[in-house]
Structure 1
Amino acid sequence: MGKEASGGSRSRFEMFSNIDEAAINRKLPKELLLRHSKILGDQLHIDAYGFRRDGRVVENISKRCGGFLRKLSLRGCLGVGDSALRIFAQNCRSIEVLSLNGCTKITDTEGCPLLEKLSISWCDQVSTDGLQVVARCCPGLRGLFLKGCTQVGDEALKHIGARCANLLTLNLQTCSQVTDEGLVAVCQGCPRLQALCVSGCSSLTDVVLNALGLNCPYLRILEVARCSHLTDVGFTTLARNCHELEKMDLEECVQITDATLIQLSIHCPRLQVLSLSHCELITDDGIRHLGSGPCAHDRLEVVELDNCPLITDASLEHLKVCHSLDRIELYDCQQITRAGIKRLRTHLPNIKVHAYFAPVTPPPSVGGSRQRFCRCCVLL
């Protein structure tokens, strides 16, 4: 997830430099003032990131652009509130991508019928009522980003599951009120789901992994970091049914063992990125299965094994056949040695290796005290 899809690229149009209408008139390209763009045809894409304090810019944009506006990013526009967004929704009925990241004044507002991507991450005043409206008014929604929306819970997700059958991407990172019940509703109602981030939703259990496996066969990205109740049982169901998985973040899924890696190695041939940081039960045997799986030779690009205390140089030997491996993270893997990394490099000369190595403690000084050395982070 993440990771968020909206608000990434800059607009092709010159950015505004003032908030009043006269300044906007001077700064907007002539094509926009005429409600037509020769560069993008009849579609206008605007990033208003610089307008952090005054919501009037949104009203003016909506009046000038009207139905020609397709994409708008208002990320970090702290002055934008419900009234400005209400006018915007009335004037820009053709909007398809809307980013409101960090617009903390936004609460619950009406949706737009053609909206496909909505990002309201960190808008912590948005509640179930607002998402119910979004679900009802935006049936074509394909991407929904709710990172840090602390009021969002299961009832909101039930509305999404019931109304947004075309949803492909859902980010619920740190939405701590979300439980199995809400996610099951999404899985059952959104069978085309391809990317799900629920990192930090600490109450989730294997029920969610089972629901994903049974309902969402096209899942490609799953981020479940810090979901400590998930186990091998749930990941077995997931792996056996979701063969399109490409990226998995399992950091701090502390109950998983080599059994999960065995299932992933057998059933997930497209796996490219796998984070197992702080999965302290993972051993060399699990990595051996991963290195012998179908993803190993031409797919696997990143493996993160930070704070996996049972991992030794043997794991590096198992990974040397992964010719696509670009990066491996080994922070605080006490049994990994420089010699092991050097041997890995003879097979993968371009690999980036991040590891901790503690200097050898020197003998006592004349005064009897011992000098302390900090562990050092090295890029090898």
Structure 2
Amino acid sequence: MGGACSRKRNQLVDEDSVHRGVSGRYCKSGSSKWLGTSFSRAAADIKQGKGKCPSLMELCVYKIREDINQHSTFSILPRDISQQIFNELVYSQTLTETSFEAFRDCALQDLNLGEYPGVNDSWMDVISSQGPSLLSVDLSGSDVTDSGLIHLVDCKNLQALNFDYCDQISDHGLERLSGLSNLTSLSFRRNNTISAQGMSAFSGLFNLVKLDLERCPGIHGGLDHIKGLTKLESLNINCCNCITDGDMKPLSGLTNLKGLQISSSKVTDYGVTFLKALNKLTLLNMEGCPVTLACLDSLSELRTLKVLNLGFNEDISDAVLVHLKGLGNLESLNLSFTVVTDGGLRKLSGLSSLKSLNLDARQITDAGLAGLTNFKNLRSLEICGGGLTDAGVKNIKDLSFLTLLNLSQNGHLTDKTLELISGLTQLVCLNVSNSRVTSAGLQHLKPLKNLKSLTLESCKVTANDIKKLQSADLPNLVNYRPE
């Protein structure tokens, strides 16, 4: 797998990809924000003799974690301290159903239990005891069922709920959420039991801003129930192959919609015509949808678009791209696994705002790369599986803002390519897998001090070669292959 393109199908526009859980299987809700500022990691590092000097609070919380079985309740503590203790227990994977009881009536605001082992309906009573203070709950990957959701009815101020991968929740469970009118974010990714009828429970969630129903195969016809949610800004129904043109019509009135993901659906050119009214749309993912040239006529009116994914569609050709020239705000474009050629790239020359371009196209050659010199603002470039040679890479060497470069599957690239890109000192991720790069070429990577990820699988390079480069010249390199 390491030698393949790093950009997988449906990966381009995952809005929450920076909020990954322990396993990275799903995207966290807003309740995971504490992970970015949590001191628990620092406390653990201090225990091991590294990191800065801990604060008194850090030491106290760490001590409580060590002696958690001696504490029966934290309800008398200020809420922010109880929250920090809870966060530390979750982070360190030391929270149990028994120790969770100590947090009853603590008025906690955020309960991030996404993919935490053992969470089921028996935990829900303590969760509900937080009452109106509770703002966000992440129970992704848990064994919570419809019965467990009844406990949330008293948490009237809930703003964010995440039930990704909770396959024991059905339409009956959704009914118990219908009264949570303060919800702004709701996620039920990969649920096989939610149906169009069950989505009627969403119709009263008038404050909903974000709704994620990715991989929910039974929701065809249910989008009619959300047509009144005029505050909705983000809708993800990726990989719901039940979605058709008829499902697009209810969306035409959601004029505040900024992000729409309908990849791998059955939406055609006709369905896209209903999107023309969405004049605030900045993100549109139609990867794998059976759209053609006619679709681009509709898209050309969406002048606010910043992210567009048209990948995995053999009807997207050079002739289509001329319709993109009016999208002057476009920053990210995915044309991977289309039939776009060198000639098509020249038609993109007017998209001067592009920061990310994914071609992954075998039809792109050295001649096509000459057109990339116009894209001075590019931060991310992926051209995998094409017929590129070192000569073509010369057209990339001056794209000085690049932080991600993926040239994997180009079997003619040699050590000369590494020499040519040695001046791209902003690079953080580099992939030149399945090429002719050798250990001798690694010397050219020494100037890339910002490099954190390096993939050279199926090259004449060993893990030991990369380790030597890391220790001597690339101290920030944390992920590399082969390893």
**TM range, normalised to the smaller chain?**
0.7 to 0.9
1:334 to 362, 365, 376: 362
Q: Distance in 2 between matches of 1:45 and 1:262?
A: 55
* Residue in 1 that maps onto 2:219: 178
Letter in 2 for 1:247: L
Code of the aligned partner of 2:304: R
**Which of 282-291 and 122-131 deviates more?**
282-291
Write the distance in 1 (CA, Å) between the matches of 2:287 and 2:63: 44
The within-5 A match list for 1:217-256 is: 217-227=255-265, 229-239=266-276, 241-253=277-289, 255-256=290-291
**Contact kept in structure 2, 1:300 and 1:324, CA below 8 Å:** yes
Alignment check: 8 A CA contact 2:349 2:375 kept: yes
- Cross-structure match for 1:318: 347
Is 1:117 aligned to residue 160 of structure 2?
yes
Tell me how far apart the structure 1 counterparts of residues 65 and 379 of structure 2 sit (CA, whole Å). Answer: 52
Correspondence for 2:104: 62
RMSD (Å) for aligned C-alpha atoms: 3.1
Amino acid at match of 1:147: R
> Which residue number corresponds to residue 299 of structure 2?
264
Match of 2:189 in 1: 147
Equivalent of 1:306 in 319, 336, 344: 336
For 1:82-140, what per-residue CA distance to the aligned partner results, in whole angstroms no more than 9, with x for missing partners?
A: 1221232033332111111111344432222111110010111111111111112x111
Cα distance between partner residues in 1 of 2:85 and 2:367: 52
Higher mean Cα deviation, 46-55 or 120-129?
46-55
Q: Give the aligned residue type for 1:211.
A: P
Distance in 2 of aligned mates of 1:340 and 1:152: 46
Contact 1:192 1:218 in 2 (8 A): yes
| Count, aligned residues | 343
The C-alpha deviation readout for 1:52-96, integer Å capped at 9, x for no partner, is 773234332234x22xx2222111112122122123203333211
Deviation at 1:261, TM superposition (A): 1.7
Change (3 A) 1:191 1:349: closer
1:371 — aligned with what? none
| Pairing of 1:76-87 with structure 2 (within 5 A) | 76-87=115-126
Q: Distance in 1 between matches of 2:307 and 2:94?
A: 36
**One-letter amino acid of the structure 2 residue matched with residue 262 of structure 1:** D
Distance 1:80 1:8 in 2: 17
One-letter amino acid of the counterpart of residue 282, structure 2? E
2:403 counterpart of 1:348: no
Cα distance, 1:327 vs structure 2? 1.6
Deviations, residues 15-44 of structure 1 (Å, cap 9, x unaligned) = 477998952778x9x9x8622449xxx997
| Distance across 2 between alignment mates of 1:301 and 1:329 | 12
After superposition, where does 1:125-144 map in structure 2 within 5 Å? 125-136=168-179, 138-144=180-186
Change (3 A) 1:262 1:22: same
Residues 352 and 374 of structure 2 are in contact (CA less than 8 Å); yes or no, is this contact kept in structure 1?
Answer: no
Partner-residue secondary structure (3-state), 1:134: coil
Q: Distance in 2 between matches of 1:146 and 1:153?
A: 12
**CA–CA distance in structure 2, aligned partners of residues 62 and 320 of structure 1:** 60
- Equivalents in 2 of 1:99, 1:205: separation in Å? 30
Looking at structure 2, the residues matched to 346 and 191 of structure 1 have their Cα atoms a distance apart, in angstroms, of 39
SS of 1:319's equivalent in the other structure is coil
Q: TM-score when scaled to structure 2? A: 0.64
What is the identity percentage for the equivalent residue pairs of Structure 1 and Structure 2?
A: 24
Residues 45, 71 of structure 1: 8 Å contact kept: no
CA distance in 2 between counterparts of 1:145 and 1:313 reads 40
| TM value normalised by structure 1 | 0.81
1:288 is aligned to 2:325: no
Equivalent residue for 1:98, pick from 137, 145, 154: 137
What CA distance in whole angstroms lies between the structure 2 residues aligned with 1:24 and 1:14? 21
C-alpha contact (below 8 Å) 2:357/2:378 kept by paired residues: no
SS of the equivalent of 1:344 reads helix
| 1:260 alignment partner, SS class | helix
Q: How many angstroms apart in 2 are the aligned matches of 1:60 and 1:33?
A: 11
For 1:9, what is the secondary structure of its paired residue?
A: helix
**Per the alignment, in what secondary structure is the counterpart of residue 300 of structure 2?**
helix
